[in-house]
Amino acid sequence: MNAETQIKDTITAHDVVLFMKGTKSMPQCGFSSRVAGVLNYMGVEYQDVNVLEDDAIRQGIKDFSDWPTIPQLYVKGEFVGGCDIITEMTLSGELDQLFADSAITFDKDAANKIREANG
């Protein structure tokens, strides 16, 4: 199975997928840690994919999304963005809306606490 097929299969099989450096319990870079931290704190169930374990996936996800950096968040098969975009969406409430519109379970109070702490 090539990287593109593996990526498509992963984002099809899971509602929320984070391609990241490291894992959700042990991120290996600050940007991955920030996005995983937001998702973990908000109680979102997601599949983490450690791109450090597979060079084909690490490059393949960049080619697949035409986005040069990692982490990359996918919701319902659609590319949402990287660390800066996810941070902005979290603080503006857009991420809450995306999860709500996509029927993704998350903790609204936790999302509000993130905004209060960063407001």
Helices then strands, each counted (H, E), the chain: 6, 4
Residues 3-13: b if buried by 16+ CB within 10 A, e if exposed: beebbeebbee
Exposed, middle or buried: residue 90 (CB in 10 Å: 0-12, 13-18, 19+)?
A: buried
29 has binding-site annotation: yes
Residue type, 50: N
Question: Strands 78-81 and 16-20: what pairing?
Answer: unpaired
**Residue 31 and residue 71 in contact, taking contact as beta carbons nearer than 8 Å:** yes
Residues that constitute the known binding site for [2Fe-2S] cluster: 29
Binding residues: 29
